[in-house]
Structure 1
């Protein structure tokens, strides 16, 4: 019997196949796991040259798989010299003072970018107008992003720079907001933000490579071994995917990146053309399917709902893309046998896309497709069992709950009855659906423990709602970790290679610096990786 090169031992090993840890370890040879189990099963794999790593009470588990990121833009937004973070600003004035300070200390930046605004924390909970921003910075272009990347603000200099006027038509799936007299307000929603992003997110290649590489290594330090990178990239580079692949081939981007590109490409390209376009041989950057938006978010009434909003009864929201265009593209992808992901936050969006997947199955058979609905923030009870029935996975990002909790943004928007249907993690799991977890980076940070905390406790960081927000939808630590490993691997059609500590699978392993199963809630948020391995290669060690 071949001996292992490394045996990783611990008093707490979580394989992702069960829901609780045990005392034992994992044996690795080359890029594969050759054994996993209790100590007595590992002994035969230990030879004179085997390195034995004993991590005591630290939690050994499969590498974390963040199933939903916008990795390219996230790399730039989390670069402190590219953008200023405004997530903790509790007033417009505080945010703008920080923007002005950033501008003064970054005189060479062509654009002044402010990100992750939560305007619901402000006295007037609205994104600022151009005139408001001009009072602080008027001589350089300023572009501000709401935390969920669905609403944006720009000052007059930025508006003039990109050439938007009162006569510029709304782009498909977006709105250029105007006042009663038809003048630009400086606020832009959904796809209208791309007018600015095309210029903002197209930096020099040395900046691109540095940001991408730095972000991948930060992911490793958090225990992340794989990310799903979903459309849109929110950057205007010609081919950010090729840059990632080149860095990966050079060893400067130690991360598996599974791509979900623009669904609407299947309107103008054949499947073989798309596969060729995103084929990066001898790298860990792989094309896995399509992704597209259908709606926005509830807090600003851009999610598509079955009934009017409680605090805006004049609207049910509206789709960000033509629903019939989405339907036709889904049916074509299903005919091709290609996995497709759709952003669905409102209950009408959820129902509509489930109908599309059902129609695809009726027309083209069940096949091998593993479609996924992303976010699933409001699901009507009659739609819950349809996920499992159709084999549709549910992608969830629990920290989004904590963004809405403090100011009751979701509760106020949809009212108490629909708020109780929000982020139905437990209900979806109980229905038999595959639930996979991720971050939606850079809407929030890459930190997986924030998502785990949100899923398990549904509680604010300060503990002010210890019973949890609709606590019946809490899930166990085991379920949360399994959704962040096996669930994500399954949803991305990769469970045969990664996602569990199983013999024959790739040795993607992380060791957390504590056993999450024994942690108080606040300690979960503090947890991070002590050791991360991808395909048998150590990519991070504390």
Structure 2
């Protein structure tokens, strides 16, 4: 009988969540090198324990795969959480409070050539009216000021910023974007959607020392049990060579995060193919292509089947897609022919229908070549489209914090009405319909990057303070097992990485976390009391709470 090579680490617990089942059970996991070599009963794993094996007895604490945030903007979030680069405007109650914060930040950072901030959200302000350049101009700061909103779909700026990039009364509004104007025709400092906002952001978001910010974020993610991410186009930063920076950090063994990134669907195919050839490892991989088809209801840019109730552009306005159906069909067909997975942002139900139609047409032309398609967000879906998604194998990448952040503000009730609002974020119907779900946050456009908060939101549909106690349309909540599976194996599936990642099974990569308790024995409303105690990445312990 061949001798068993001892494991480096063996974990024991009475609550082992493999993600291949929806309930935990007693068991052990053996890790050697970067892989899991055995999962099962103590008797099965005992032979892997040698004199140098580290044995971690977790008791009744949940041992599970590392969390995989399937949708975020990693480079952008990393610089926006850099307190010397970005002014934090999250949760401020008014336009004036934001202006005061900007003034303080500008005074503390006199050498910053541009003043950048992020996180304001006018629908939640005491006076929920969109801002314009006048309040920022009143600060009499001679530097450009550019402030991204919470959703990253809107920019509020001062006149100096408009002048710096050449936006004036004669600047045409880009297709798919919006530049608002005063009655006298001058731009008022409010721009929405990337086609317009990137005129400013492409200049502002170039940080030469990006790698330092990335490493800071990775250490924070280790503490939270995040071991993998889906990094979505747009990058949000204009620092050159971001994907190569990811690869360099991994090759130097500095990175403690698996990155599956998605570049632009509408880029030349030759560029996409070159990225796929260059980045195909298990730490950094070009996983597919991404496109933003519409915006968000707050800005009346989500493309809806039925008109908005109070759109400033008129009673019949439904929003507009970033491209027409013919263009989308062509891009999807080309991606499918070349074997690329595609993920497309669609918050409006009409945009989701466009994506489903495009996938259907691509498969009619070239058959199913194994490419995976996903709709990002799925805030609004027609029920019949869920059945079509299942038939075509279209996945859904969802962000459970968005419902609790959006439904409590009243903005959707005003723009869409209570009936449509009650059918937003149909996670229960998607799960019951057989859709593969991947969980994420859309960081930095989220209240919290902590996966525990995302799990709480998916299960309770309540805000972080526990209100409302009955949740926002809790009939569309997920179970705890479904949520943990979607945040691990489901995310890996959406990323086309499930053969190597996402569950605790022999032969898979050893990304594992130990929680501070067993959430299956807790009141769901208390889930946010949980913490991560240990994070293992690539077979190596990268975080221990008792050593932090």
TM-score calculated relative to the size of structure 1: 0.96
Change (3 A) 1:519 1:134: farther
Counterpart of 1:438 (choices 415, 437, 440) is 440
SS in structure 1 of the partner of residue 408 of structure 2: coil
Q: TM-score normalized by structure 2?
A: 0.95
Query: Residue 417 of structure 1: SS of its match in structure 2?
Result: helix
1:215 to 217, 220, 228: 217
Match of 1:171 in 2: 174
Matched, 1:333 2:335: yes
2:295 aligned partner: 296
Task: String of CA shifts for 1:1-35, please: whole Å, max 9, x gaps.
Answer: 22222101122111000111112221111111111
Shift in Å at residue 526 of structure 1? 3.7
2:66 matched to 1:63? yes
The aligned residue for residue 350 of structure 2 is 348
Query: What SS is found at the alignment partner of 1:116?
Result: strand
Q: CA deviation at 1:522?
A: 4.9
CA–CA separation in structure 1 for the residues paired with 2:111 and 2:276: 39
Q: Distance in 1 between matches of 2:523 and 2:142?
A: 49
Gaps of 5+ in 1: none
Q: Of the candidates 42, 45, 51, which is equivalent to residue 42 of structure 1?
A: 45
Q: What's 2:204 paired with?
A: 200
For 1:362, which of 329, 348, 364 is the aligned residue?
364
Q: State how 1:485-504 maps to structure 2 within 5 Å.
A: 485-504=488-507
1:146 Cα deviation after fit: 1.2
Say whether 1:421 aligns with 2:437: no
Does residue 187 of the first structure (1) align with residue 186 of the second (2)?
no
CA pair 465-270 structure 1, distance change in 2 beyond 3 A:
closer
Deviation per CA, 1:414-453, whole angstroms, max 9, x where unpaired?
A: 1122112211111001001101100101101422122111
- Residues 116, 147 of structure 1: 8 Å contact kept: yes
Return closer, same or farther for 1:45/1:137 CA change in 2, 3 Å cut-off: farther
Shift in Å at residue 409 of structure 1? 1.7
* Aligned with 2:89 (options 70, 73, 86): 86
Counterpart CA distance in 2 for 1:526 and 1:12 is 18
Tell me, in whole angstroms, the C-alpha distance in 2 between the residues paired with 1:212 and 1:518: 36
Q: Would the alpha carbon gap of residues 527 and 137 (structure 1) be closer, same or farther in structure 2, given more than 3 Å must change?
A: farther
- Rate the CA distance shift 1:400–1:75 in 2: closer, same or farther, 3 A: same
- Number of paired residues? 537
* Distance verdict in 2 for CA 1:523–1:79, change over 3 Å: farther
CA gap of 1:223–1:318, structure 2 versus 1, over 3 A, is same
CA distance in 2: counterparts of 1:195 and 1:474, whole angstroms? 39
Q: 1 CA distance for matches of 2:307 and 2:386?
A: 21
Give the SS at the match of 2:217: helix
User: Structure 1 residues 89-98 or 37-46, which shifts more?
Assistant: 37-46
Distance 1:413 1:541 in 2: 46
Q: Residue 282 and residue 456 in structure 1: after superposition, are their counterparts in 2 closer, same or farther (change >3 A)?
A: closer
Preserved contact between residue 325 and residue 358 of structure 2 (Cα < 8 Å): no
CA change 1:428–1:283 in 2 (3 A) is closer
Q: 1-side partners of 2:521 and 2:190: how far apart?
A: 47
Deviation at 1:143, TM superposition (A): 0.8
After superposition, where does 1:248-267 map in structure 2 within 5 Å?
Answer: 248-266=250-268
Partners of 2:238 and 2:33 in 1: CA distance: 38
Whole-Å Cα distance in 1 between the matches of residues 84 and 504 of structure 2?
A: 39
2:523 corresponds in structure 1 to: 520
Counterpart CA distance in 1 for 2:101 and 2:523 is 34
1:326 Cα deviation from its structure 2 partner = 2.3
State the match for 1:95 in structure 2: 98
RMSD: 1.6
Contact 1:249-1:283 within 8 A present in 2 as well: no
Which residue of the partner structure matches residue 273 of structure 1? Answer: 274
Cα distance in structure 2, aligned partners of 1:270 and 1:404: 37
